[in-house]
Structure 1
Amino acid sequence: MFTMDDLNQMDTQTLTDTLGSIFEHSSWIAERSAALRPFSSLSDLHRKMTGIVKAADRETQLDLIKKHPRLGTKKTMSNDSVREQQNAGLSKLEQQEYEEFLKLNEHYYDRFGFPFILAVKGKTKQDIHQALLARLESERETEFQQALIEIYRIARFRLADIITEKGETQMKRTMSYGKGNVFAYRTFLKPLTGVKQIPESSFAGRSNTVVGVDVTCEIGGEAFLPSFTDGDNTLVVATDSMKNFIQRHLASYEGTTTEGFLHYVAHRFLDTYSHMDKITLTGEDIPFEAMPAYEEKELSTSRLVFRRSRNERSRSVLKAERTEDTITIKEQYSEIMDLQLVKVSGNSFVGFIRDEYTTLPEDGNRPLFVYLNISWQYENTNDAYASDPARYVAAEQVRDLASTVFHELETPSIQNLIYHIGCRILMRFPQLTDVSFQSQNHTWDTVVEEIPGSKGKVYTEPRPPFGFQRFTVTREDAEKEKQKNDEAIGTLKA
């Protein structure tokens, strides 16, 4: 591997020898690039080399295109092309597949006058075959320009294989783009079974007969800088392609959870597009509930008809980054959002500071209406993907735990409520490191204080603004709370 400093200090011949294979059998591009030094980054080097090709005349560009081998051929080609085609499975074609590729390549060459070129890194032989069929329908000029674009992509991949930017000071900037509201629905996903049972919840798994997810995909990397600064889309993956990528990979996903699906898609993205440095995926579940069905004179649950739920929402977030050839999960968490719970009595709020600004009366027994966003993180992120279902924490269980604690607790404040909910979650699921809350107080305003013959009251929506809380409950908090509970039980027994 070479650094930018290495390249900037080389004499012209050494630089030409080092970069001569970046463009197939065209070392003249590397030689001319020597005069454009210094190179500030891999992206800068790539931009200057492709600029040389773009500035060349039509015949020179055509000559460059023709120097590329035909995909799937068994004829002699450069070492880089051999390796790239091997990785795509083109060196292990069955005889029938080889003959099909040969026939299609000949047809393409006869139609356009140059070979079919595709940056095959991260693609399968099926992907390549499909692309070849589709591009046979294009016009010649479209294919000429597409061939150059694919050559630029190949050059980027080859540069990334021999150059490291490690140790260089890179300017930190916000630079990303992506696609939101990618809706994907799948029927008959593998069921989620074998989850740990807890006393507070009847949840035992998901049938996954119908599954929906709303995905947001955000990608980044230095390779995309030219698209912002120069309008150069050579390495841009269209957001429409991102949408199709996500939706089609839901078909090949063999797991059982949204968390696992995001992990799968993130790795497939970074494996397919090696110039991407990082990806953030957010997946919001679209829940469906089975409807009742009257079968054989008995009311049961339908296995075919479902209704879309409109209650609280479950979401998963995953952030992954590439360092050279290693993909690292930088952050993963799951959450349940907009869980709305009301407890009609057994809640108080007293003892707070009272001064000249205070108009809120103390209340020893009030209804309490809260909105909760609850997120949780695993000590080992692999547990989130449910490869071992017994270590997976389902949003349904977190929801039921929150409701149970709310029911049990004489609530002196929302702050204390979320603390105890968090401790209970961590006690039940020791594989988690922490539980975080964003809560809001939406307790109703009283309209009628007393109703004759009833203990009820009449309320209306609270006037804005609303109060909110943020808090993270840690493993240490849960252990302290458990110790307090154990001591209290010991005292009672004594």
Structure 2
Amino acid sequence: MFTMDDLNQMDTQTLTGTLGSIFEHSSWIAERSAALRPFSSLSDLHRKMTGIVKAADRETQLDLIKKHPQLGTKKTMSGDSVREQQNAGLNKLEQQEYEEFLKLNEHYYDRFGFPFILAVKGKTKQDIHQALLARLESEREMEFQQALIEIYRIARFRLADIITEKGETQMKRTMSYGKGNVFAYRTFLKPLTGVKQIPESSFAGRSNTVVGVDVTCEIGGEAFLPSFTDGDNTLVVATDSMKNFIQRHLASYEGTTTEGFLHYVAHRFLDTYSHMDKITLTGEDIPFEAMPAYEEKELSTSRLVFRRSRNERSRSVLKAERTEDTITIKEQYSEIMDLQLVKVSGNSFVGFIRDEYTTLPEDGNRPLFVYLNISWQYENTNDAYASDPARYVAAEQVRDLASTVFHELETPSIQNLIYHIGCRILMRFPQLTDVSFQSQNHTWDTVVEEIPGSKGKVYTEPRPPFGFQRFTVTREDAEKEKQKNDEAIGTLKA
């Protein structure tokens, strides 16, 4: 591996030898690039080398295209081309497949006058075959320009294989793009079974007969800088392609949870597009609830009819980054959002600071209406993907735990409520490291204080603004709370 400093200090002959194979059998591009030093980054080097090709005349560009081998051929080619085609499985074609590729390649050459070129890194032989069939329908000028684009992509991949930017001082900037509201629905996904049962929840799994997810995909990497600065889309993956990629991979996903699906898709993205450095995927579940059905003179649950359900929404977030050939999960968490709970009595709020700014009266028994966003993180992120279902924490269980604690607790404040909910979640699921809350107070305003013959009251929506809280409950908090509970039980027994 070479650094930019190495390349900038080489003499022209050494630089030409080092970069001579980046463009197939065309070392003249590397030789001319020597005059364009210094190179500030891999992207800068790639931009300057492709600029040399773009500035060349049509005949020179055609000659460069013709220097590339046919895909799937058994003829002699450069070492780089051999490795790239091997990685795509083109060296293991069955005889019938080989003859099909040979026939299509010859048809393509006869139609356009140059070989079919495709940056095959991350692609399968099926992907290549499909692309070849599709591009046979194009016009010649479109294919000429597409061939150059593919050559630029191949060059970028080859540069990344021999150059490291480690140790360079990179300017930190915000640079990403992506696609939101990618809706995908799947029927008959593998059921989620074997989850740990807890006293506070009847949740035992999901049939996954119909599954919906709303995905947001955001990608980044230095390779995309030219698309912002120069309008160069050579390495841009269209957001429409992202949408199709996500939706089609829901078909090949063999797991049972949204968390696992995001993990699967993130790895497939980074494996397919090796110039991506990082990806963030957010998946919001679209829940469906089985409806009642009257069958054989008995009311039961339909196995075919479902309705959109639940006010709250569960969501998963995964952030992954590539360092050379290693993909690392930088962050993963699950959450339930907009859980709205009201408890009509057993809640108080007293003892707070009272001064000249205070108009809120103390209340020893009030209704309490809260909105909760609850997120949780695993000590081992693999537990989130439900490879061992007994260590998976379902959003339904977190929801039921929150409502149970709310029911049990004489609530002195929302702050204390979310603390005890978090502790209970961590006690039930020791595989979690922490539980975080974003809560809002939407307690109703009283309209009628007393109703004759009833203990009820009449309320209306509260006037804005609303109060909110943010808090993270840690494993240490849960252990201290458990110790206090154990000591209290010991005292009662004594």
Q: TM range, normalised to the smaller chain?
A: over 0.9
SS at match of 1:300: strand
Tell me what 1:55 maps to. Answer: 55
Alpha-carbon distance between aligned partners in 2 of 1:203 and 1:326, rounded to the nearest angstrom? 37
- String of CA shifts for 1:94-143, please: whole Å, max 9, x gaps: 00000000010000000000000000000000000000000000000000
Alpha-carbon distance between aligned partners in 2 of 1:164 and 1:325, rounded to the nearest angstrom? 12
Alpha-carbon distance between aligned partners in 1 of 2:55 and 2:114, rounded to the nearest angstrom? 20
Tell me what 1:451 maps to. Answer: 451
- String of CA shifts for 1:44-103, please: whole Å, max 9, x gaps: 000000000000000000000000000000000000000000000000000000000001
Give the C-alpha shift of residue 232 in structure 1: 0.3
- String of CA shifts for 1:305-357, please: whole Å, max 9, x gaps: 00011410000000000000000000000000000000000000000011111
Give the C-alpha shift of residue 205 in structure 1: 0.3
- String of CA shifts for 1:6-25, please: whole Å, max 9, x gaps: 00000000000000000000
Runs of 4+ off more than 2 Å: none
- String of CA shifts for 1:418-472, please: whole Å, max 9, x gaps: 0000000000000000000000000000001111111110000000000000000
Alpha-carbon distance between aligned partners in 1 of 2:157 and 2:355, rounded to the nearest angstrom? 67
Whether 1:28 aligns to 2:36 is no
Tell me what 2:79 maps to. Answer: 79
Tell me what 1:236 maps to. Answer: 236
SS at match of 1:244: helix
Give the C-alpha shift of residue 373 in structure 1: 0.1
Alpha-carbon distance between aligned partners in 1 of 2:103 and 2:294, rounded to the nearest angstrom? 58
Alpha-carbon distance between aligned partners in 1 of 2:15 and 2:356, rounded to the nearest angstrom? 77
- String of CA shifts for 1:159-178, please: whole Å, max 9, x gaps: 00000000000000000000
SS at match of 1:74: coil
SS at match of 1:261: helix
Alpha-carbon distance between aligned partners in 1 of 2:461 and 2:408, rounded to the nearest angstrom? 25
SS at match of 1:178: strand
Tell me what 1:3 maps to. Answer: 3
Tell me what 2:204 maps to. Answer: 204
Alpha-carbon distance between aligned partners in 2 of 1:457 and 1:129, rounded to the nearest angstrom? 71
SS at match of 1:266: helix
- String of CA shifts for 1:376-409, please: whole Å, max 9, x gaps: 0000000000000000000000000000000000
Alpha-carbon distance between aligned partners in 2 of 1:93 and 1:390, rounded to the nearest angstrom? 42
- String of CA shifts for 1:254-275, please: whole Å, max 9, x gaps: 0000000000000000000000
| RMSD after superposition | 0.4
Alpha-carbon distance between aligned partners in 2 of 1:2 and 1:355, rounded to the nearest angstrom? 68
SS at match of 1:126: helix
Alpha-carbon distance between aligned partners in 2 of 1:125 and 1:189, rounded to the nearest angstrom? 27
SS at match of 2:399: helix
Tell me what 1:132 maps to. Answer: 132
Tell me what 1:401 maps to. Answer: 401
SS at match of 1:345: strand
Alpha-carbon distance between aligned partners in 2 of 1:350 and 1:207, rounded to the nearest angstrom? 46
SS at match of 1:480: helix
Q: How many residues align?
A: 494
Alpha-carbon distance between aligned partners in 2 of 1:289 and 1:107, rounded to the nearest angstrom? 53
Alpha-carbon distance between aligned partners in 2 of 1:107 and 1:37, rounded to the nearest angstrom? 42
Give the C-alpha shift of residue 207 in structure 1: 0.3
Q: Map of 1:73-112 to 2, 5 A cutoff?
A: 73-112=73-112
Alpha-carbon distance between aligned partners in 2 of 1:439 and 1:388, rounded to the nearest angstrom? 31
SS at match of 2:121: coil
Alpha-carbon distance between aligned partners in 2 of 1:382 and 1:79, rounded to the nearest angstrom? 38
Alpha-carbon distance between aligned partners in 1 of 2:81 and 2:297, rounded to the nearest angstrom? 67
SS at match of 2:320: strand
SS at match of 1:29: helix
- String of CA shifts for 1:204-248, please: whole Å, max 9, x gaps: 000000000000000000000000000000000000000000000
SS at match of 2:279: strand
Alpha-carbon distance between aligned partners in 1 of 2:386 and 2:117, rounded to the nearest angstrom? 40
Unaligned residue ranges in structure 2 (runs of 5+): none
Alpha-carbon distance between aligned partners in 1 of 2:4 and 2:301, rounded to the nearest angstrom? 65
Instruction: Identify which range, 479-488 or 448-457, moves more after superposition.
Output: 448-457
SS at match of 1:118: coil
Alpha-carbon distance between aligned partners in 2 of 1:70 and 1:469, rounded to the nearest angstrom? 62
Alpha-carbon distance between aligned partners in 1 of 2:309 and 2:6, rounded to the nearest angstrom? 59
Alpha-carbon distance between aligned partners in 1 of 2:206 and 2:101, rounded to the nearest angstrom? 44
SS at match of 1:249: helix
Unaligned residue ranges in structure 1 (runs of 5+): none
Alpha-carbon distance between aligned partners in 1 of 2:310 and 2:209, rounded to the nearest angstrom? 18
Alpha-carbon distance between aligned partners in 2 of 1:323 and 1:437, rounded to the nearest angstrom? 32
Alpha-carbon distance between aligned partners in 1 of 2:137 and 2:13, rounded to the nearest angstrom? 43
Alpha-carbon distance between aligned partners in 2 of 1:42 and 1:139, rounded to the nearest angstrom? 33
Alpha-carbon distance between aligned partners in 2 of 1:457 and 1:334, rounded to the nearest angstrom? 38
- String of CA shifts for 1:185-204, please: whole Å, max 9, x gaps: 00000000000000000000
Alpha-carbon distance between aligned partners in 2 of 1:96 and 1:408, rounded to the nearest angstrom? 70
Alpha-carbon distance between aligned partners in 1 of 2:95 and 2:302, rounded to the nearest angstrom? 49
Whether 1:336 aligns to 2:336 is yes
TM-score, with structure 2 as normaliser: 1.00
SS at match of 2:76: coil
SS at match of 2:64: helix
SS at match of 2:359: coil
Tell me what 2:272 maps to. Answer: 272
Tell me what 2:386 maps to. Answer: 386
SS at match of 2:285: strand
SS at match of 2:321: strand
Whether 1:326 aligns to 2:311 is no
SS at match of 1:128: helix
Aligned residues with identical type, % of pairs? 99
Alpha-carbon distance between aligned partners in 1 of 2:195 and 2:145, rounded to the nearest angstrom? 53
Tell me what 1:14 maps to. Answer: 14
SS at match of 1:399: helix
